[in-house]
Amino acid sequence: MATDFSGNWELERSDNFEDYLKALNIDFATRKIACHLHQTKVFIQDGDTITIKTLSTFRNYELTFTVGMEMDEHTKGLDNRVVKSLVTWQGDRLVCTQKGEKANRGWKHWIDDGKLYLELTCEDKVCIQVFKRKE
Ligand code: ECB
- From ligand 1's centre to the CA of 53, what distance in Å? 10
pLDDT per residue as tens digits for the range 16-45: 999 999 999 999 999 999 999 999 999 999
* Cβ-count burial 123-132 (b if 16+ within 10 Å, e if not): eebbbebebe
Tell me if 116 sits within 8 A of 13, measured CB to CB.
no
**Tens digits of per-residue pLDDT, 73-102?**
999 999 999 999 999 999 999 999 999 999
DSSP state of 69: -
Nearest to 59 by CA among 72, 76, 83, 84: 76
Across the strands, what pairs with 120?
107, 127
Mutation pick for ligand 1 pocket among 41, 78, 105, 127 (CB with most ligand atoms within 8 Å):
78
21 lines ligand 1 (CB under 6 A): yes
Which of 41, 60, 57 lies closest to 118 in space, CA to CA? 41
For ligand 1, atom 25: residue with the closest CA: 52
User: Residue 113 C-alpha to ligand 1 middle, in angstroms?
Assistant: 24
pTM: 0.97
**Amino acid letter, residue 56:** S
